[in-house]
Amino acid sequence: MTDTPQFRLGVLGSGAGSNFVAIADACASGQIPAAVAVVLSDAATAGILERARERGLQARHVAPGPFRTKLDESAERAFVEALRDACVDLIVLAGFMRVLKGDFLRAFEGRIVNIHPSLLPSFPGLEAWKQALDHGVKVTGCTVHFVDAGVDSGPIIGQQTVPVIDDDTPATLHQRIHSAEYELYPRCVAAIARGKIKVAGRRVLWS
């Protein structure tokens, strides 16, 4: 037994929650030495909330306000309060379709991570797998990074490559990138929970 408090994750998502499932299952198996403290979604019917409740985890919808791509001020405060109430150590974005700004980033500076379906800094933004296909690259992949005020621009924690096959469609390539994400994201979150990650300027160092 130990008196050390367990590392606590807050997960934000807007969709089906497949990356959340990979994280939650890795926590349950001990691959990630952490617990999912709360799951929050800006979409009331998001699958991620159902996946969380199936696992007996606290799951809440928080209304995002009138904007399509960001949270309004009251919604931002509600998200911050819910995460603080859950005493989270790290915020894990799992398909959260809102850009985080200002007060939210300041409240959890250096403690928000995201996964993006390309090898950043290539192909930031939406539909990165389609961007990769359109550019004719032979290798793409996924990137786990810290979140800052830019678009997919924070310090890179880890990456995993995925080959682009000649007969790939956007759907087939996206699915293979998803499979890589389910391996990379838990590995990176586990390293953070174990205190193995240090940020030095733009560089992320593993120990």
What is the rounded distance in angstroms from the CA atom of residue 174 to the CA atom of residue 121? Answer: 18
What is the rounded distance in angstroms from the CA atom of residue 49 to the CA atom of residue 16? Answer: 8
CB atoms within 10 A of CB 16: 15
Given 61, 116, 174, 178, the catalytic residue: 116
At 148, give phi and psi (nearest 5°): -125, -165
- 116 is known as an active-site residue: yes
For 93-201, where are the alpha helices, taking DSSP H only? 102-107, 128-135, 170-193
Q: Is 18 helix (H, G, I), strand (E, B) or coil?
A: helix
Beta strand extents in 130-202 (DSSP E only): 139-146, 156-163, 197-200
Beta bridge partners of 139: 163
Instruction: Give residues with Cβ within 8 angstroms of 164, minimum separation 6.
Output: 132, 133, 137, 138, 139, 140, 173
187 near 158, Cβ under 8 Å? yes
Which of the residues are catalytic? 116
